[in-house]
Chain A
Amino acid sequence: MTSRRGGNKRPPRGFGHWGQVVAAHAVLITYTVIALFPVLLVILNSFKSRRAIFRNPFELPNSSNFDTVGYQTVFEGANFLLYFRNSLIVTIVALLLILLVSSMAAFALAEYDFPGNALMGLYLAVGIMIPIRLGTVSILRLLVGIELVDTLMGLILVYLASGIPLAVFILTQFMATVPQALKDAARIDGASEYRIYALVLPLIRPALGTVAVFNMIPIWNDLWFPLILTGTERAKTVILGAQIFLGQYISDWNAVLASLTLAMLPVVILYIVFSRQLIRGLTSGAVK
């Protein structure tokens, strides 16, 4: 806003410029604090005794209030390592499959002018508009029929199907931005259509990263389908395992905060892995 008074031909320097820099940083820092504060509050308090959580929520964990009773409760009550393994398998396999089949479909929709193209695009996009929860009972019946209930494969298939619409929608837009000349050059060199798909894929890496991040979050965090589609220990996910300590009716705050912290860590790590990819893609200018 200061720049309005600022320079003429070049970006303004001097006092106005510095004011702008400081103001911009101040806005970002303020917002970052707002974004992280509730998360830090949960993590910090998960290491404190119940009384300390209540009396001094802002206090950092220290020798007088340090307490890991929440983590003890959580690990005694649930097989968290198994849940982590299950969540990781489900999330990663579902993500890879979403990226694979959706990018293939998106390539076909963006690249070829075949009859029914628009209709097919609409058909695949319509799933964005309906909550898949509505189909719960039918999905469950289906999985019971093919004996995939209470398995990780069952969860993967449901997430795969529900991830496809948005992924195809986003990827088609990006596929369309890949320069035609590039593909035509490859065709003249005699490349097959599959080869051209393989050529285009790396060019839309940022879009793939975006799709991965957007899909990873709901899959990892989903409570609903694990709740319905799995019953026993062996196919439980982290969020479902943590659920025993969550919810409206549970008063053990230590266990709640500990299980929340545990459920949050892996997704943050996964996010950092994918966001590197995403950011590298964004800044390399591959989208232009």
Chain B
Amino acid sequence: MRTRPILIMLVPLILGAVALAQSLVIESWRNDDLVIWRDTIIPAFNAQFPDIEVVFAPTAPAEYNAVLNSKLEAGAAGDLITCRPFDTSLGLFEAGHLVSINDLPGLENFSSVAKSAWITDDGSHVFCVPMASVIHGFIYNADAFTELGLSEPLTNEEFLELLEIIKQDGSYAPLVMGTNDQWEAATMGFQNIGPNYWKGEEGRLGLIDGSIGYNEGGFLKAFEALATWVPYLTDGYQAVTYPDAQNSFTLGLGAIYPSGSWEIAGFNAQADFAMGAFPPPPPAGQEVCYISDHTDIAMGLNAASPNAEAALTFLEWMTTSEFAELYSNALPGFFTLSSHAIELTDPLAQEFLSWRSICESTIRSSYQILSRGNPNNENDLWNASAQILNGTLTPQEAADQVQQGLEAWYEPQQ
């Protein structure tokens, strides 16, 4: 009975929360970037558009799809939607959740390659403003390399010799990576070194038109190359998670971290040793090197947004060189997809970017079209790659398993 006054006191508190503020809400999976958006990007936008309040409301990456889809279904999602590349966002566009932004002024600052991940199959509608791509490669502990007298490997054979030397020495884990979360095995393993074996775009497009399968040629070789990593992985790698591996490397316990450029900001903040980077080394005798330069992130307009006009203003601002410069430097390793010439200040990020001029670029093999069906090609690759490293599948078995999954629904492969 004493509870009654308390309840009555609480009513205004609860009701007070109902009044809605007029502001743009950005949905994103990049919770790591919360502070950068809040303290750098949004203030820069507000300097020009002081009347539009912007809130960056990220969700943890693992939950993003589920949360976003639920909110979109119910009409409760934010005004601006951070777009994953290809089929996931295409699905949102086809379901009417994202609008076509063909007429957005400033879209001419993006090449057709940059827009390719957020465009309908017939090329008639672009639905997200491309933000950044990420490049795969290896980050290494430069102090450890100096200590052991090592230099960056130019071929895969040199790479394996290098790993053997580090292993024999014993003071560092040669390759810092775990298979617990599965996706690293596919993303930082298979998709990182693979383009060298399947010849980049040639192989990737071959999968799409059905002229090559996962269990033959370059793709099989890529699985086999991945299997050669097993003796050099961190102790107990089967239970090592992604953050475990990151911490392990930045604490100086390992020598080489199979990676992507998105790690740069975090590593700069946490590592107290010098770092370098090298691109995935091609097999000896291969003249051309290939890198995965993956279109990763973009921003679209929620079709149900009540603040569409303000949101379009924000999207238009995102096409400017000001945004490109801010974003690329605030988040070194996320390389702008716009054609603005911008100055990168971070040396490690510059190193990654420089590979664009010496190697052929491609994107991850499973992202375009191949992950539309069930079983999902990307998820199959996670499972197969992790199983190769865990020693529960041979490269051939893993390749067959992935190929079977694709053949189950993808006609050109049947």
Residues of A within 8 A of B (CB): 50-51, 54, 76-77, 89, 93, 96, 136-137, 140-141, 143-144, 147-153, 156, 227-228, 231-235, 243-244, 246-253
Contacts and interface: CB of A to CB of B under 8 A. Distances in A.
B18 A144 contact: no
Contacts of A250: 31-32, 60, 243
Contacts of A77: 34-35
A241 to B, nearest CB: 11
Contacts of B59: 227
Contact of B14 (A54, A151, A249, A253): A151
Interface stretch (B65-73, B157-165, B211-219, B383-391): B65-73
Nearest to B62: A248
The dominant DSSP class at the B interface is: helix
Contacts of B15: 153
A184 B199 CA distance: 87
The dominant DSSP class at the A interface is: helix
Contacts of A137: 70, 73-74
B254 interface: no
A150 B251 CA distance: 40
B78 interface: yes
B76 A231 contact: yes
A54 B242 contact: no
27 contacts: A50-B251, A76-B35, A93-B7, A96-B3, A96-B6, A137-B70, A140-B70, A140-B74, A141-B73, A144-B76, A149-B76, A152-B14, A153-B14, A153-B15, A227-B59, A228-B70, A231-B25, A231-B71, A231-B76, A232-B23, A244-B31, A244-B60, A246-B60, A247-B31, A249-B242, A251-B270, A252-B270
Interface in B16-57: 17-18, 20-21, 23, 25, 31-32, 34-35, 55, 57
Contacts of B150: none
Contacts of B7: 93, 96
Contacts of A76: 35
B75 interface: yes
Contacts of B55: 232-233
A248 B15 CA distance: 35
B403 to A, nearest CB: 29
A247 B10 contact: no
A137 B72 CA distance: 9
Contacts of B71: 140, 228, 231
Contacts of A152: 13-14, 17
B57 A249 contact: no
Interface in B280-337: none
Contacts of A149: 74, 76
Contacts of B270: 50, 251-252
Contact of B18 (A151, A227, A231, A252): A151
Contacts of B35: 76-77
A252 to B, nearest CB: 8
A228 to B, nearest CB: 5
Nearest to B75: A144
A247 B14 contact: no
Sorted nearest first, the 7 A-B pairs with minimum C-beta distance are A140-B74, A251-B243, A247-B60, A251-B246, A141-B74, A151-B17, A153-B14
B63 interface: yes
Contacts of A54: 247, 251
B391 to A, nearest CB: 23
B17 A251 contact: no
B405 interface: no
A247 B63 CA distance: 9
B96 interface: no
Residue of A76, A153, A246, A249 with highest tally of chain B CB at under 10 A: A249
A247 B31 CA distance: 10
Contacts of A141: 73-75
B240 to A, nearest CB: 12
Given A243-B60, A247-B60, A232 B25 contact: yes
Nearest to B39: A76
A234 B268 CA distance: 33
A149 B58 CA distance: 17
B241 interface: yes
A96 B246 CA distance: 44
A227 B67 contact: yes
B167 to A, nearest CB: 22
Contacts of B181: 248
A231 B251 contact: no
Contact of A234 (B3, B17, B241): B17
A150 B61 CA distance: 21
A244 B64 CA distance: 12
